[in-house]
Amino acid sequence: MGEQQHVKFPQEVIDEYAALGVDLGALFSAGHLGTRMGVQILEASAERVVGTMPVEGNTQPYGLLHGGASAVLAETLGSVGSMLHGGAAKIAVGVDLNCTHHRGARSGLVTGVATPVHRGRSTATYEIVISDEAGKRVCTARLTCLLRDTGPKDAEQAAGAAES
């Protein structure tokens, strides 16, 4: 999955997943789509997830950052936060994503910061602010994830993700 050597996780989270034999870097990566788009997760906890994505390679025909690329970054960061909130016994599944695009970006990196709006037992909602290198807001997104109990199939997939 994605290159995640530099992700900062809280120690208690590392310990929880290590006890299950799960590699956090693989499990909480950007996945195959995020990897193709250059998404990098820099910091991850239930309280804050930070990631970047290059504009280059993720543009629409006018040379601006594609709105769908912003949505991929937002959903990735919000999902990671939701998964960390839910813990090893839950899996986060996105059920609603909305994005408001404020300005275009033509080059450089955009940075997304996901912070919780609501963290409950069955759902988690995160606001994701995506900014350009000048610190100007490019997009504001909100993601709600359903937190469901993990089943045997989920555990097999998580183990497989850790091996990829």
| Residues 6+ positions from 118 with CB-CB distance below 8 Å | 124, 125
Give the active site residues: 75
Whole-angstrom Cα Rg for the chain: 15
Residue 18 CB burial class (10 angstroms; 0-12, 13-18, ≥19): exposed
Q: How far, in Å, CA of 98 to CA of 50, rounded?
A: 18
Collapsed DSSP state (helix, strand, coil) of residue 95:
strand
